[in-house]
Amino acid sequence: MSGPVQLVLADVDGTLVTQDKILTPRAIRAVHALRDRGIGFAITSGRPPRGMAMLIEPLALELPIAGFNGGVLVHPDWSVIDTKRLTHAQVDTVLKIIRDHGADPWIYTSHDWFVSDWDAPHVSREEWTVKFAPRVDDVSRHLDDVVKITGVSDDLKLMQKLEKDLQEALGKTASAACSQPYYVDVTNRDANKGGVVTTLETLLDIPASAMVTMGDQPNDMLMFAKSGMSIAMGQANDTVKAAATHVTLSCEDEGFAIGLERYVLGNVTA
């Protein structure tokens, strides 16, 4: 980076929190240390904004929260800054492709999460993660106010193919990327983590070159490319690691805190 760090923008799942969704005391201390240095801290995730509510108090978050990979941007008091939606035609296309691949589609609107089957893979875990329940219904009935569609399957090779086929079908009209090996998220073309960097640049008057981004999944590479420095988590795949400026330890080994200590705060203790 050519100048001092002014902002750290972090992914949540697999980065800020562990695989068991635990925010560790060391991670909390590292974020507070950023604030003590005058460095801002913001989060972005494929989660709905309210699925990050449990992070606001322990981290004393003050900056905008980018849910749905930037599809909905809110202040910590939940006032909405911006919403980027998918069109009816895009929703129809995406649902068909997800179903044709044998994956399970979830629909997220600005306020609700819809699934077709409560017992489908990852529904109960996602409910535990975001701390609110989905509504069970035919997702095809909810085409208005769609902010994100997620295709879900535990067939990881299938998910890689689904990601590729969605990207080819949608082109530049929408964004499709894996947020976890078993999730492919589809959002408005401007609702991606690279777009979050650009939006925060304008809102906070902080150049992207003065930002550090942290993540572990392919969709995080978009914000890596925009920021002055990037840190990939140790459990990320080789492609994600190669796209980052630095690689820290895994999220299970305090990689978030150590990454900040080593590359931003400059006071490694482990």
How far apart are alpha carbons 212 and 197 in whole angstroms?
A: 10
User: pTM score, two decimals?
Assistant: 0.87
| pLDDT-wise least confident of 79-83, 178-182, 190-194, 264-268 | 264-268
> So what's the pLDDT on residue 270?
36
Q: Which CATH number fits domain 88-188: 3.40.50.720, 3.30.1240.10, 3.30.420.40, 3.30.565.10?
A: 3.30.1240.10
Element (H, E) at 175: strand 174-180
* Tens digits of residue pLDDT in 173-199: 999 999 889 999 999 999 999 999 999
Q: Is 71 exposed, middle or buried (0-12, 13-18, 19+ CB in 10 A)?
A: buried
Dmax (CA) of the chain: 53
> So what's the pLDDT on residue 130?
92
For residue 268, name the pLDDT band (cuts at 50, 70, 90). Answer: very low
Has domain 7-83+191-265 been given CATH number 3.50.50.60? no
Tokens of 133: 């329940």
How far apart are alpha carbons 154 and 176 in whole angstroms?
A: 18
Inter-residue contact 85 to 145 (CB < 8 Å): yes
The full set of domain ranges for the chain reads 7-83+191-265, 88-188
Pairing of strands 7-11, 183-188: unpaired
Phi, psi (deg, nearest 5) at residue 228? -70, -30
How far apart are alpha carbons 30 and 23 in whole angstroms?
A: 11
How far apart are alpha carbons 188 and 146 in whole angstroms?
A: 9
Per-residue pLDDT for 7 more than 70? yes
Average per-residue pLDDT in the chain?
94
How far apart are alpha carbons 195 and 67 in whole angstroms?
A: 12
How far apart are alpha carbons 10 and 242 in whole angstroms?
A: 18
How far apart are alpha carbons 205 and 229 in whole angstroms?
A: 18
Instruction: Please calculate the CA angle 126-147-207 and round it to the nearest 5 degrees.
Output: 100
> So what's the pLDDT on residue 258?
97
How far apart are alpha carbons 169 and 243 in whole angstroms?
A: 25
**Up-side HSE of residue 64: CA atoms within 13 Å toward CB?**
22
For residue 142, name the pLDDT band (cuts at 50, 70, 90). Answer: confident
The residue assigned the tokens 């929408």 is 174
